Structure 1
Amino acid sequence: MASRRHKKIVIVMGPTGCGKTKLSLDLASRFFPSSEIINADKIQVYRGLAITTNKIPPSDRRQIPHHLLGDFESSDSHPELTPSDFRLSASSLISQIHSRRNTPIIVGGSNSFIYGLLAKAFDPDSDVFTDSDSAICKALRYSCCFIWVDVSPAVLSEYLARRVDEMMEAGMFEELEEFFGGGESDPVSGRGLQRAIGVPEFRRYFERKARGDWTRDGDVAEREAYEEAVRAIKDNTCQLAKRQLTKIIRLRDSAGWDLKRVDATAALRAAMAGRTAELWERQVVEPSRNIVKRFLMGE
């Protein structure tokens, strides 16, 4: 089986919050142990703001090698990672992983990164997702197995709102407070971690706090500003998911990429209700395992 994996890659894609990370870990740790994961999230590639950017901590990675996850600095002295940069870095990693006779699993919500990596003819000066005049490339550089984890918009929006609350409880506010207090946030650059959802939404709050506005205005004004920032994070996260879905559909319909859709709606709904993970196993993990197995075996 290992010999048949040569030059093949698996891509787990989908909107933010759909369960891409969990699925990639289930596949790599339980069914395809000769796998290594390459992050394709354009914000998670940067070091810092682990909670805000929802990076999976090392303790939860199940000893699966992860690449391009928090590997790059985000500052004015370090240029922003572009799709071309990702193409170069990820291609090199794929070659190394193949040389170890392992299977690369590309995981992330940045479809511009995924397209930049996989399109055989890639033009770094055009954006096929925003420029209707740009021709999208149908040919792929690798033999690819695409798993598209899909969730109904209504269920996903409810889950994303809950996830923001959980992230705040896990220390996201304190992390952002340190980020702004340490002078790491530069509103002018708007690059790297500056674009992480949570940073622009809380910028005004922390600027007012630094000016001492809360001392003058009182606890009510501070609480209102906090709640406004949290609402903006929830709204912008849902908007991000919608944009990601639009790009995925363009890759399927315009590029003709063979995306194997796996519906995680019922599993996510069950998880929010506190029920067992049976639906996740039956409706997401098992179909995905079968798809990848057939692909790697050449069926």
Structure 2
Amino acid sequence: MIAVVGPTGSGKSDLAVSLALELGGEVINADAMQFYRGMDIGTAKITDAERRGVPHHLLDILDVTAEASVSDFQQQARALIRDIHGRGKRAILAGGSGLYVRAALDVLDFPGTDPEIRRRLETELQTAGPAPLRERLEAVDPVSAGRLGDARRIVRALEVFELTGRPFSSFMPAREYFQPAVQIGLEVDRELLRERLARRVHSMVDQGLLAEVRRLDAAGLRNGKTAPRALGYAQFLRVLDGGSTVEQAADETIIATRQFARRQLTWFRADPRVTWLDWQDPDLLAKAAALCRTPPVLSPGVPPVLPGA
């Protein structure tokens, strides 16, 4: 299994396509927001032309009103990996949604769900706000309480505790691949990335991001639990509501995207199994392909080494 990881805007999709052409592979999307049909401009979704004939999977699989599920993704991704490998191809995971990448690569079990518990907790959230729920989580799972800032995730952590009697944090195991894998991280110049992300947001505006958000709003974007939180979409919904200008929304999106890129780097940097390659190296493809041809090192925490390094 091959995974191309790193911050948004670092060129993961391009490298994944080039590797697929070099090695005979197919790409599996691991960007949660690119699951959604119609969310094209704001997610920088790879176009048909950019795919260069390489099959791509798990793009455009959800309506904007649907909730993305890591557990569902794990099942779908692993079924695809089996199918791709069974046809003699290489499965190449590409995306920056860290938990989704781990779900595909690692031995990772997800607790079930209980709609009744979920509805009750969500009703409490709506009526009393997140503070009482956070206090309850601190009492039963201080690790998750200290790590989770999103109210939706607090609800999920409490649901898991009520359902299983185990802290939500206990379901995040040690890093252990469920099958041999190599992770290639794209090492970026942070100042250049900041500039690239700003240019990309302005390009999205020029391509019609506001019109895309308007179309998706009519399709029920605000009713979704996952999609309306995507970078750019939340900001441009406020433009439609008259609470912001296009210029203000673009500036807010740039700031939010840069913050997200920093969080992604922190997440992937914490995984010692990632081999980092310079995103601007003229020999990037050759070095990445060499890593993929090297027998993987299976010991946890030990990344493969480039031949001759």
TM-score calculated relative to the size of structure 1: 0.76
Aligned residues of 2:106 and 2:177 also touching (Cα < 8 A): yes
Whole-angstrom distance in 2 between the partners of 1:15 and 1:124: 28
Partner of 2:109: 122
Equivalent residue runs for 1:36-47 within 5 Å: 36-47=26-37
Name the residue aligned to 1:281.
282
Number of the residue aligned with 1:5: none
The partner residue of 1:13 within 5, 26, 30 is: 5
Match of 2:205 among 168, 191, 212: 168
| Residue 59 (structure 1) aligns with | 49
CA distance in 1 between partners of 2:18 and 2:282 (Å) = 10
Q: How far 1:235 sits from its partner (Å)?
A: 0.4
Deviations 1:40-91 (A, max 9, x none): 001001111211111111222111111001122221xx3x122111111101
2:267 alignment partner in structure 1 = 247
The aligned residue for residue 238 of structure 2 is 204
Structure 1 gap segments, 5+ residues each: 1-8, 210-223, 253-257, 268-279
Shift of 1:124: 4.3
CA–CA distance in structure 1, aligned partners of residues 282 and 295 of structure 2? 20
> For the structure 1 residues 185 and 99, does the alpha-carbon distance in structure 2 shift closer, same or farther, using more than 3 Å as the test?
same
- Tell me how far 1:123 sits from its aligned partner: 4.1
1:139 aligns with 2:176: yes
- Report deviation, 1:263: 1.6
State the Cα distance separating 1:225 from its structure 2 match: 1.8
Give CA-to-partner distance per residue, 1:93-127, whole Å, 9 cap, x none.
11111111111000000110011222214344899
| Cα distance change of structure 1 residues 61 and 248 upon mapping to structure 2, 3 Å threshold | same
Cα deviation, residue 177, structure 1: 2.9
Residue 92 of structure 1 aligns with an amino acid whose one-letter code is A
3-state SS of 1:248 partner: helix
* Runs of at least 4 residues off by over 6 Å: 125-129
Gaps of 5+ in 2: 113-140, 149-167, 297-303
Question: Structure 2 counterpart of 1:48, which letter?
Answer: G
Shift of 1:289: 1.8
Residue 242 of structure 2 aligns to a residue in which SS? helix
Equivalence for 2:254 = 234
Kindly indicate whether residue 277 of structure 2 is the aligned counterpart of residue 262 of structure 1.
yes
Q: Paired residues, what number? A: 248
Decide whether aligned partners of structure 1 residues 39 and 133 sit closer, same or farther in structure 2, where only a CA change above 3 A counts. closer
Cα pair distance change 1:114/1:130, threshold 3 Å: farther
Q: Does 1:87 align with 2:49?
A: no
